[in-house]
Structure formats: C-alpha cells, structure tokens
Chains A and B, each alone.
Chain A
Amino acid sequence: MGDLFSADRLVEEFPKLIPYLIENLKVLLWATVFGVILGLLITGVRMKKIPILYQITVVYISFMRGTPMLVQLLLIYYGLPAFIDPILGTNISREWPPILFAYTTFILNQGAFLSSIFYGAIKGVPSGQFEAGLSVGMTKLQTFRRIIAPMAVRIALPPFGSDFVGVFHNASLVYVIGVVDIMGRAKSIGSATGHVLEAYVIVALLFIIFSMGARALFGFVGNKLDYANIKVR
C-alpha cells in the first residue's frame, strides 16, 4: 500500500480524534431527549386525532421520513434563518453556532421517527388488553398508564434501539454545516497531514464500538422487560 496507511499514524491520531466524539454524542443526547418528548406529543396528537394538528403531523412525518438527513440538515441550516429572522427580527444565521442548527434538525427528525415507533407500539398492544382494563372498572387513563404503556414500551424498545444507533451514525453528517465533530476533525487532520485514511479508520472503529455497545445494552434491557421470559421462583 506504500505510504497510504501506517499503524504509527493510527495510534498517534487516536487521542487527537477521541475528544471530538463528544460533539456527536451531544447531538445524540439532544436528539434523543427532546426527540422523545416531541415524539410523545406527536403520538398524543395522532392518538386523539386532534383536528388541524393531526393533518400537520401527517405532512411533517412524511417529510421527515421521506427526505435524507443530509438534505434536512442543509435545509434547516440555510432555511431556518431565512424563515425566522424576518419574523422575529433576530439574526440567528450569525448568532447561532452551527451545532444549534444540528440539534434543531435532529430533534425535528427524531420527533417524527420516534412518534412513528411509539404510535406503532401502542397500536401493537392487542385491543383485548384495553378492553380487559375497562372491564375491571379502570378508566381509560388508568388502563393506558398501567397496562398499555408498559407493554408499548416493551414493543417499542427494539426499534428505538436501532433508531438510537442510526441517529448516532447520522450525527456524523453535522460537519457539513461546520460543526467540528469527529468527522470534521478527521477531515482537517487529513488535509493537514496529507494522510486521510487512518483518521477515517479510527472514526469507523469508534462508531462500530459504540453501535455494538448500544445494541448490547438495548438487548439487555429488552430481556429484563420481557415478562414472557421471566423465571418463576
């Protein structure tokens, strides 16, 4: 391979890259926490079929699920200031650091994806469970809280886990709007040294390790929640 790849550079660049993973993790954290909140709100709108809001969510979800993350990121980065600044008289295109645009995009994206997961999970609980709750005299809300929701959580967990890993992978796109994350740093190391491959190998390794860790964690939690597998004393 000539001088295209060297193990020494790999070891040397490792510590230079690692700190920048924080930026990607921050995107993941914001996207997950606020995405869950937004996703639950949207699920509520869809369950209750609240007029107007419901139609808006339908369009919104099909947009978020029908366009690539990269496109959404660029649309928000260039589009949000164009939309908000004239209305509010702000100047967010200058005042906001790029990562705020990344947060916004990822939260909006996750709201749509997670609401689909949550909604599907609630619908996935057999209707007989709901009827049984009503039949023993519980209110709809009590039945939802004590019976439907815990079962929906169990159903939602595996797709939520895949989505979680997917968001982290997608978070590697934020460098295109100028966030200096692990990809941005890998790129700059590449242009500074003239050797790009090692940095990207490191990025790939870190992503693999994270993904496997996350999958293992979700698998573990899933087993814990699985009432069908619980050993009887």
Chain B
Amino acid sequence: MLEIKHIRKSFGRNEVLKDVSLNVKKGEVVVILGPSGSGKTTLLRCLNFLEKADSGEITIGNKNVVIQNAGRKDILDLRRKTGFVFQNYNLFANKTALENIMEGLVTARKVPKKDARNIAEETLKWVGLHDKADYYPSQLSGGQQQRVGIARAVALNPEVILFDEPTSALDPELVGEILELIKKVATKGITMIVVTHEMTFAQDVADKVIFMDGGVVVEEGAPKEIFYRPKEERTKQFLAKFIIPDNMYYI
C-alpha cells in the first residue's frame, strides 16, 4: 500500500535520513519511535513532500514517484493521497472549524460545497465538536484544535494519515483524549503512520513499531517484539529510559 525505498535527505552537511526503506500494508497502524533528531519527523514530512527528499522512491496506493523525477503534478497527486496531522495543529487561523475541514475538500478536491459541508459536519460530530463548528481556532483549546486537525485529515478520506507527534504540544491532561481519538481513527481501518513519544499508545494501537536513530531504521517489528524482546542494543538503551525500574522507589 505504502512503500518507500532508499530515502535520503540532508540539510546542508547534516545527513538526516540515510537510506530509509519502509513497507506499510493497507489498514496498518505503524508507530515510529526514536530519540529527538533521529529523523522520524523528517521521514514523515518527506512522505508528502513538505520536505523534498534528496533521493529515493515513494509509492502510495497506485502512485509511484521517484524523488529525483518528481514533478509538480506527482507531488500534488501524492499529497492528495495523504492526510497530515501536525504537532501544533496548524489549523487555518482565518477559517472556522467547519471551514477548516471544508477547505481541502472544496478547493483541492473540487467537492461541491454542499456535499463538503455535510462531510465536514459529519466529521466534526465524529470527533465530538459539532457544537464548535463556527468557532475560530483561536477560540478553541489545544485539544479541541487537534480534534479539528484530525477531522480535517480524516474528512479527506486519504489512503494514509500521517501523524507528526500529535500530542506533544498538548497539556498532559488532554493527551489521553486525543490518543483515544487517534485509536478511533485506527478502528476505521485507515492506514496510519504515527510519530510519537507515547509508549503505551504505541503498545496498544500499533501493528508495527519502527525504531529510528541517527537517520536509519534500527529495528522494526510487532510492538511485543520491540518492547519486550528488542534485538538491538540501541533499542534497549532507548526503551530503558521509559521503564522505571522497581527499585527506584525503595531508597
């Protein structure tokens, strides 16, 4: 369904992605873990050309794009097969919650306005914000904004939704409800790639966990494999920081 081959990306002399390849099946939820600077966000952004990789190949659904030959039309086609949920929501500040969801449908996909409004209302209801349709982003809380952000991506009915640390900017008490919503997206059977630091979420929801460090995929496998039987030393080190040893409590 989604396949990337040999993606490389450098910022100046700093090589952020060193030959990354990945395969995602339809309906699969893939969680990418890794320390800051490991390239996970860059990888996600390369997938819909928010960042243009230097070389490699991306296939989403029936669309195959070789990075070096990617034309404007290719990039647009690929973007229209993906939805993106941003860390800091990035809702259109000059549009209401409803308009935020409608915008991509009407302007990019040429869905008639009336139909787009129906879809938007439906999706807004689905994320539990039907009463906030006419609110502007600045009038919504962080959690509500991210709900709209998720609704905006889901409403487009893309082949894959990319989540870039969707809960990192939220108050701790709001993280749970957004993770619940992302789980709900997963149950719809939508293919998802999620970059996150939420380990429990990764264990609960992921079909596959990918551990990245230093611009390469260090290890990938089922959550049970990665969390309980990691093969690579680097993965063990990383996960150890998230598991508090019992004896810490007994001084």
Task: List A residues at the B interface (Cβ < 8 Å).
Answer: 126, 128-129, 131-139, 142, 146-147, 150-151, 154, 227-228, 230, 232-233
* Contact yes or no, B104 A147, CB < 8 A: no
Task: List B residues at the A interface (Cβ < 8 Å).
Answer: 48-50, 76, 79-80, 82-84, 86, 88, 90-95, 103-104, 107-109, 134-136, 138-139, 152-153, 156
* Contact yes or no, B88 A137, CB < 8 A: no
* Contact yes or no, B108 A137, CB < 8 A: yes
* Contact yes or no, A135 B94, CB < 8 A: no
User: B103, B104, B138, B156: which contacts A227 (Cβ < 8 A)?
Assistant: B138
Given contacts A128-B88, A131-B50, A136-B108, contact A232 B93 (CB under 8 A): no
* Contact yes or no, A138 B104, CB < 8 A: yes
Please indicate which of the listed interface residues A126, A137, A138, A232 has the most CB atoms of chain B within 10 Å of its own CB: A137
A147 to B135, CA, bound (A): 17
Given contacts A128-B88, A134-B48, A138-B103, 15 further A-B contacts (CB under 8 A): A128-B86, A129-B92, A131-B90, A132-B84, A136-B103, A136-B152, A137-B156, A138-B108, A139-B76, A146-B103, A147-B94, A147-B95, A150-B94, A227-B136, A233-B134
Question: Mind listing 13 A-B residue pairs with CB under 8 Å?
Answer: A128-B88, A128-B90, A129-B93, A132-B92, A135-B79, A135-B83, A136-B104, A136-B108, A137-B79, A138-B103, A142-B108, A232-B135, A232-B136
Given contacts A142-B107, A142-B108, A150-B94, contact A134 B136 (CB under 8 A): no
The number of A-B residue pairs with CB atoms under 8 Å apart is: 77
Given contacts A137-B76, A146-B103, contact A132 B86 (CB under 8 A): yes
Closest residue of chain B to A230, judged by CB? B136
Q: Give the residues in chain B near A135, CB-CB below 8 Å.
A: 48, 50, 79, 82-84, 86, 90, 153
* Contact yes or no, B48 A147, CB < 8 A: no
* Contact yes or no, A132 B91, CB < 8 A: yes
Q: Give the residues in chain B near A228, CB-CB below 8 Å.
A: 93, 136, 138-139
* Contact yes or no, A134 B94, CB < 8 A: no
User: A132, A138, A227: which contacts B90 (Cβ < 8 A)?
Assistant: A132
Given contacts A135-B48, A146-B103, A228-B136, contact A151 B109 (CB under 8 A): no
Given contacts A137-B79, A137-B109, A228-B136, contact A131 B93 (CB under 8 A): no
User: B83, B90, B135, B136: which contacts A129 (Cβ < 8 A)?
Assistant: B90
Q: Give the residues in chain A near B83, CB-CB below 8 Å.
A: 135-136
Q: Give the residues in chain A near B90, CB-CB below 8 Å.
A: 126, 128-129, 131-132, 135
* Contact yes or no, B76 A227, CB < 8 A: no
Q: Give the residues in chain A near B139, CB-CB below 8 Å.
A: 228, 232
Closest residue of chain B to A136, judged by CB? B104
A160 to B107, CA, bound (A): 30
Q: Give the residues in chain B near A230, CB-CB below 8 Å.
A: 136
CB B146 to nearest CB in A, in angstroms, measures 13
* Contact yes or no, B103 A131, CB < 8 A: no
Closest residue of chain A to B82, judged by CB? A135
Q: Give the residues in chain B near A138, CB-CB below 8 Å.
A: 103-104, 107-108
CB B240 to nearest CB in A, in angstroms, measures 34
* Contact yes or no, A151 B94, CB < 8 A: yes
Q: Give the residues in chain B near A126, CB-CB below 8 Å.
A: 90
Given contacts A129-B90, A131-B50, A132-B90, contact A137 B104 (CB under 8 A): yes
| Interchain residue pairs A-B with the least CB separation, the first 9 | A136-B104, A137-B108, A135-B84, A128-B90, A132-B90, A137-B80, A228-B138, A138-B108, A227-B136
Given contacts A136-B108, A151-B94, A227-B93, contact A131 B76 (CB under 8 A): no
Please indicate which of the listed interface residues A132, A133, A146, A147 has the most CB atoms of chain B within 10 Å of its own CB: A132
CB B119 to nearest CB in A, in angstroms, measures 13
Closest residue of chain A to B103, judged by CB? A136
A133 to B84, CA, bound (A): 10
Q: Give the residues in chain A near B109, CB-CB below 8 Å.
A: 137
A139 to B136, CA, bound (A): 23
A150 to B95, CA, bound (A): 10
* Contact yes or no, A136 B135, CB < 8 A: no
A134 to B48, CA, bound (A): 9
A135 to B158, CA, bound (A): 11
CB A176 to nearest CB in B, in angstroms, measures 44
A227 to B90, CA, bound (A): 15
* Contact yes or no, A136 B138, CB < 8 A: no
* Contact yes or no, A131 B86, CB < 8 A: yes
